[in-house]
Structure 1
Amino acid sequence: MARRGISAGVFGVPQRRENGMKRIGLVIAVPVIVGVGYFLAYPELSLRASAPDTAAVPSAFLSAGNSTMAAAGKRRKASAVPLVAVAEAKSEDVPITKTVVGTIEPVDTVAIRPQIDGVVVADNVTDGQMVKAGDVLFRLDDRAIRAMIDRDQAQLTKDQASLVAANLDLAGAQDLEKRHVDTNQQVYQSEAAVKVLESSIAMDKAQIEADQVQLSYMTISAPIDGRVGVVSTSIGNLVRTADTGSGLLTITRTVPLRVSFTVAESDLPALRKVVAEHPTAVQIKLPGSSDTIATGTLNFIDSSVDTASGTIVLKADVANTDGALWPGQYVTAIVDMSVHKDATTVPLIAVQQGNDGSFVFLVHADKTVAMQPVTLATTVGDIAVIASGIKPGDQVVVDGQLHLQDGATVQTTEAQTSDTPPVAENVGAASVEASK
């Protein structure tokens, strides 16, 4: 019995704890369920209870609120009229140009090679040096040539002395012949000896001149002004005329230079016309730069069109006195072709594209806009040249077109414009005409 009592006391504690937790849960759940049901059954009571007592709000605050709401309404009404930026169509002369990629070429390039075999005994030039015509670049060993000249000079002296003796013999033979002491045969022999010696003297002089030419080859000088490339020899090297390769060095004339480029054969008639009328300017710019670093004059049009590519080669001389250009360099060449006289221009951003072609939003005097179809003659950077559709003085929208409709009323402000005159590019571009 004692054991059963102990057992009941030990195992009864968890059961009583579980019953207590259930009672606490019921106490919490019942009010929550009742509250939710009340709000679901009488929602207007809950809203009325949560509404503020407007009677307690001073009238000054109510009138201020009404004024604020009225002002907001006016602002909304005013914002319904869009604000746009406008620009005026202008009448101006627009130069027509052709922009192409060209390369800088030297006017003269000379590869220096030896004209005689010899050993280099002196070099007066380094890589990249600027030289003038006549500057000594190399000297070769000339001792053998000078010895040959001395030998030939001695032979000339000997023959000249022999000629003096032969002339004396001839004079004596002629004297004896006059006195009928000697026969004519002696005279003939003396005359022949004189002519042989005169020929020998002529040969001696020619040989000496040839030796002098050979001697001049031993001194290698610059034939033109320019910049030296890589020097491929030095003192002590044996140079030969039979050696192949790029030679001893290369001299490239850098002042002036020439820009070479190609254009389509469709541009050839316009180019020939402008070249015949006046000197045609060519502007030179570096790729990716808008600055003109040099200006040349078009002076060469190739004699034929390349049938494979349909292009023709043009060249223009560039002074390059400041050394800004370099042979082999890629540049952008801009050729002046002609001029659009009194062209109507607007900012390119004003021109919009629709299903029927190009158009602009034209602003009338009553601040209403109209979709005006236009015909583009060409584009010039951020300027559009208009062939038809608008006239100089018309106001066109350049900013804010996104939400505009035909006939809408707008507020306008002047757009910032550049004073730089436009230059038309891409000669022969097709015009885009919008339907009216």
Structure 2
Amino acid sequence: MPSRRLKAIPVLIAAALIVGLAGCEQKEKPKAPPPQVGVITIKKQTVPYTYEAVGQTAGYREIDVRARVEGILLKRVYTEGKPVKEGQTLFQIDPAPFKAALDQAMGVQAQTKAALTKATADRDRIVPLFKENAVSKKDFDDANAAYDAAVANLASASAKVDEARINLGYTTVVAPISGMASKINFSEGSLVSPTANGGLLTTIVQLDPLYANFSFSEAEKLAFEKASQSGSMTLPEGRRYKVSLKLADGSVFKHTGVIDFSDSKVDPSTGTIKVRAVIPNPEGDLLPGQFVRVVLDGAKLNNAVLIPQRAVIQLQADKAVLVLNNKNVVEPRVIQLGQERDNDFVVREGLKDGDRVVVDGVLKARPGQPVNPVQAGASAPAAAAK
């Protein structure tokens, strides 16, 4: 009997070990704590509204400098591509033929003056004689007719003198405005004329101020008007928008301007409305023809919802954010985005006051799972201390 008991002891020990191990396996593993995420609470606010459009600069005035008489271009008196002043001499056309024409016209004028002097004297002699019936009615009429003809001839000759003097003046081509002069289209020695193809000598562009031309769509115009009427947007007083320009390198031009023209019709070929802004350009840094981003400031969005761009995720074809319910469980929500403002988006639809949106730790927040929310931007130790 003692030997049987000794043999049973190892069996009992093994059984006890097996039962103990089985009990350990049945114990649940400790669950990981919910991940910590940074959240913001949505609160509607009034924010500035900025409108951007692609535009192109243009000269405030662009003047074609043309030859107004036909002749040989003797010389260019300005430096191409440099500023010129109003009234400054740009070109000299050969004046010799026009000076000769003026001298001839002045000679004819002198002859007509002499003829008028004689006709006046003849008329003055005839008048008293006619009153005394010393001369016939025909002689009287002939004297008056000769006088009238002499007056008319002198007027015509004087007009020819003026015309010749004007043409002689046109041989000196001056700048009609101050601005930047372009290159010459004809070399010295060329024959220039007032024709369409033979008279364009150069172009002068006034750079200060400068125009910025852009356009907006008919749909955008209607959206602006509806937003203004509904009160969701406040337009600037008198619709005097502050206009700034973003240049090709992303920098903002140092001077701002205002809108001075908005077309009263829609362009049927593009469906857009043309708009023009005037921008100061005293240093001449901007040149005509540059492509810019025209930025209009002055309007305000009322009851706007803003969220950081990093909170937005792509949900198939939609944009979405992760929001927390009252149990801190993550729920995805599709939203409609508006314009971009610095590092934020304006949300048009999908969020309301009081919604809690995950901003930090978006990758750790899984839909349907609870999280540990803290204020967005708070460090982990500071959040734990709270």
Q: TM-score, normalised by structure 1?
A: 0.67
How far off is 1:327 after superposition? 0.9
Report runs of 4+ in structure 1 exceeding 6 Å deviation: 76-79
String of CA shifts for 1:104-124, please: whole Å, max 9, x gaps. Answer: 122322222211111223321
Is contact 1:374-1:389 (8 Å) kept? no
How do residues 37-116 of structure 1 correspond to structure 2 at under 5 angstroms?
80-116=33-69
Unmatched segments (≥5 aa) in structure 2: 1-28, 229-234, 379-386
What's 1:378 paired with?
Answer: 338
If you compute each CA radius of gyration, which structure gives the higher value, 1 or 2?
1
Counterparts in 2 of 1:121-160, with a 5 A limit?
121-160=74-113
Find 1:209's aligned residue among 149, 156, 162: 162
* Separation of aligned partners in 2, 1:247 and 1:311: 33
Which of 289, 304, 307 is the matching residue for 1:346?
A: 307
Q: Does 1:264 align with 2:210?
A: no
Amino acid at match of 1:185: K
Offset of residue 311 of structure 1: 2.7
Q: SS of the residue aligned with 1:212? A: helix
When structure 1 is superposed on structure 2, of 220-229 and 303-312 the one drifting more is: 303-312
Question: Does the CA contact (< 8 Å) of 1:85 and 1:413 recur in 2?
Answer: yes
Residues 281-306 of structure 1, C-alpha deviations (whole Å, 9 max, x = no match): 33310235153544332333334334
After TM superposition, the score normalised by the length of structure 2 is: 0.75
Q: 1:270 to 1:205 in 2, by over 3 A?
A: farther
Unpaired stretches in structure 1, ≥5 consecutive residues: 1-75, 417-436
Please say if 1:410 is aligned against 2:372.
yes
Secondary structure of 2:200's counterpart equals coil
In the other structure, the counterpart of 1:49 is none
Q: Taking structure 1 as reference, are residues 269 and 294 closer, same or farther at Cα in structure 2, changes over 3 Å only?
A: farther
Q: Among 197, 204, 207, which residue is 2:150 paired with?
A: 197
CA RMSD of aligned residues (A): 3.3
Distance 2:122 2:198 in 1: 59
Point out the structure with the larger strand share. 2
User: Which of 279, 282, 294 does residue 321 from structure 1 map onto?
Assistant: 282
Given that 1:173 and 1:186 are in contact with CA atoms closer than 8 Å, whether structure 2 keeps it comes out as yes
Give aligned-pair identity as a percent.
27
Amino acid at match of 1:172: R
The answer as to 2:290 corresponding to 1:333 is no
Between the aligned partners of 2:203 and 2:131, the Cα distance in structure 1 is 70
Kindly state the Cα deviation for residue 410 of structure 1 after the two structures are TM-superposed: 1.9
Question: Following TM superposition, by how much is the alpha carbon of 1:209 offset from its aligned partner in structure 2, in angstroms?
Answer: 1.0
Aligned-residue offset at 1:87: 3.8
Amino acid paired to 1:105:
A
Structure 1 range deviating more: 405-414 or 342-351: 405-414
CA separation in 1, counterparts of 2:219 and 2:66? 44
Structure 1 residue 240 corresponds to structure 2 residue 199: no
- One-letter code aligned to 1:334: V
Cα distance between partner residues in 1 of 2:133 and 2:82: 78
Cα distance change on mapping 1:414 and 1:269 into 2, 3 Å:
closer
- Offset of 1:202 from its aligned partner? 0.8
Structure 1 counterpart of 2:115, one-letter code: S
> Which whole-Å deviations, capped at 9, do the CAs of 1:241-283 have from their partners, x for residues lacking one?
3472682111122122222223222012355775994223333
- For the pair 1:231 / 2:184, whether they are aligned, the reply is yes
CA–CA separation in structure 2 for the residues paired with 1:283 and 1:243: 38
For 1:290 and 1:152, the matched residues in 2 are separated by 62
Greater displacement, 156-165 / 268-277: 268-277
Q: Which residue in 2 is equivalent to 1:25?
A: none
Q: Report Cα offsets for 1:124-165 as digits up to 9, x if no partner.
A: 112101112211101112122222222222322232233222
Q: Which has the higher helix share?
A: 1
Give the CA deviation at 1:413. 5.6
Change (3 A) 1:163 1:414: same
- Aligned residue identity for 1:123: R
Secondary structure, in 3 states, of the residue corresponding to 1:241?
Answer: coil
1:327/1:77 CA distance change after superposition, 3 Å: farther
CA shift in 2, pair 1:120/1:246, >3 Å? closer
Partner Cα separation in structure 1 for residue 268 and residue 117 of structure 2: 73
